[in-house]
A and B are shown apart, each in its own frame.
Chain A
């Protein structure tokens, strides 16, 4: 179908601020008592907004979806301020300690629910899921492929550029040893890197407008999932903080610092 409406669902994660000290708690879980919208999720959101703005003859909706503890609604609210049309938050105590496997099970059900709930004026929509290249704290980058596998969707990871065509999305990506341009059909999951764009900041008007945008909260039961279905396959047994790096010897160059570095390297047997 040419120019079917497009529903872009962007996954936004609430993560501990990387600028501050991040730590594990006594249950070997990352301390999530405070957080921010992951910087790495601002790029897919910006990509979604740019696709919407470029599609003059097409109905495009940008939905922000998060899964996380109660506080994660702040990530969705920020996404609404930046420009998403509506937001969803999946929150449930059974998701505490979710691993990659459990996360993708829950997100699959959430994406399907969100896609199913949306109504479009111009017909049956196609959907596209955009994600960041990795989560800021787990950094595995494995969720997009797992989510796609579960949704039966196509997947392209590490996108550095996206362009919408009537029946497909053109994606530039950097594979391991080559740069690639690929065409992908919907439904698709595409992870977007920080090379793709420069995310915008919300202005005052957008912040005010966001207050009127809908934010829907749901639990696992609302998605028809039981706690056993999201039990993690991987358990963290122990965590140990590395001794923080401390500053060593700092000198000011007096015309011989190059020599001094080489002396240091020789002394440390690094030459």
Chain B
């Protein structure tokens, strides 16, 4: 069994599903240690999970884009002798782990879906059209650094894999925030929606230009289905919904059990972010829309009629 270091760039009062998933992934590889960049107060109560060993912190919280997180990671790796270092495939985590790979003179594999005990990484490539298996070059006795795509494990499996345990101790390492270079002038928290986070949602309802400015029917449908709400770039560019909702090549990649696409043509950049969904349902006025080439169930029709009827029927069935 190896020592595994898991990196959380930020930890709130409780672990997110993705963070729990990452710990579950790491547990299958060996003893789990955790390094945390930004936090408030004492972050250790949230980590009271059986099998979690050391928790490494810097002398002060290190919120992204603070570059000193790399010093924290480098020191933590030396402390625990990690042979595998894992994080989520988000921008800030990727930045930190990519720099760590330079410091440790080792390879990094991004956005993987699974990692075996032999450190073979499986991932989806070319917008979901290929699955590849990769590993560190043979003969390299170096740690492997990898980022995981969220939602690679079933939530029930994650729950089953994680048992409550004692609250771990935090180890403060001699790492301080950096000086100068990149100075943050202004931070503004993005609105958090009460709906499931897009990348983690098991069901996604997404709307495009066909929504024509009003997302209310899609919001209602999403709430009926407990779904995350997504959009095409045409809809986010028009300002009908925040950019964070964009699904696709330059937005969020989703892989839900069910993706409902409404008023979206299905351009390649949109498809590349959603075509690994389990089931795709499409509603579009244009029977030639490319989205119908990949839909499991397609309706040629007006979303303004179809969606309200869906909502009504879902409510009727719920009684």
Q: Give residues in A with beta carbon < 8 Å to B.
A: 18-19, 21-24, 28, 30, 40, 99-101, 104, 133, 136-146, 148-150, 154-158, 170, 173-185, 193-195, 231-242, 244-253, 255-262, 264-266, 268, 270-271
Contacts and interface: CB of A to CB of B under 8 A. Distances in A.
B130 A150 contact: no
B95 A155 contact: yes
Interface string B283-313: 1000100001111111111100111111111
B297 A261 contact: yes
A236 B137 CA distance: 9
Nearest to A179: B188
A236 B182 CA distance: 35
Contact of B313 (A19, A233, A246, A259): A259
A182 B298 CA distance: 45
Contacts of A180: 65, 184, 186-188
A270 B257 contact: yes
Contact of A19 (B96, B268, B312): B268
Given A28-B132, A241-B130, A255-B305, 9 more contacts: A101-B102, A141-B94, A175-B64, A176-B91, A177-B192, A233-B140, A237-B134, A252-B299, A257-B306
A176 B130 contact: no
A28 B10 CA distance: 36
Interface stretch (B26-34, B78-86, B107-115): B107-115
Nearest to A171: B182
B127 interface: yes
Contacts of B287: 250, 252
A264 B281 CA distance: 9
B101 interface: yes
* 9 smallest beta-carbon distances between A and B, as pairs: A258-B309, A253-B301, A233-B107, A140-B110, A248-B296, A142-B98, A234-B107, A250-B298, A245-B294
A173 B181 CA distance: 16
Contact of A235 (B103, B137, B299): B137
Interface of B: 9-10, 64-65, 67, 70, 90-92, 94-99, 101-103, 106-111, 120, 124-138, 140, 142, 180-190, 192, 203, 225, 243-244, 249-250, 257-258, 268-269, 272, 275, 279-281, 283, 287, 292-302, 305-314, 317
A233 B65 contact: no
A142 B110 contact: yes
Chain B CB count within 10 A is highest, among A18, A174, A180, for A180
Contacts of A241: 129-130
* Residue with the highest number of chain A CB atoms closer than 10 Å, among B95, B183, B189: B95
Given A249-B297, A250-B287, A258-B313, A239 B125 contact: yes
A247 to B, nearest CB: 5
A255 B110 CA distance: 46
A175 B65 contact: yes
A255 B67 CA distance: 57
B305 A258 contact: yes
Contact of A99 (B97, B107, B127, B297): B107
Contact of A141 (B91, B258, B305): B91
B122 to A, nearest CB: 10
A30 B126 contact: yes
Nearest to A172: B186
A253 B302 contact: yes
Given A18-B269, A251-B300, A257-B309, A194 B99 contact: no
Nearest to B276: A242
Contact of B306 (A173, A184, A231, A253): A253
Contact of A101 (B108, B124, B281): B108
Given A242-B130, A245-B294, A247-B294, A237 B137 contact: no
A182 B98 contact: no
A146 B111 CA distance: 16
Contact of A240 (B131, B184, B283): B131
A171 to B, nearest CB: 9
Contacts of B300: 250-253
Given A145-B99, A270-B279, A258 B137 contact: no
29 contacts: A40-B250, A101-B107, A139-B110, A149-B70, A158-B91, A175-B65, A180-B187, A232-B137, A233-B106, A234-B109, A236-B132, A236-B133, A238-B133, A244-B129, A246-B294, A247-B295, A250-B300, A251-B297, A251-B298, A252-B299, A257-B301, A258-B308, A258-B310, A258-B313, A261-B283, A262-B314, A264-B281, A266-B317, A270-B257
Contacts of B296: 248-249
A137 B314 CA distance: 40
Contact of A242 (B131, B138, B180): B131
B231 to A, nearest CB: 14
Contact of B101 (A101, A141, A155): A101
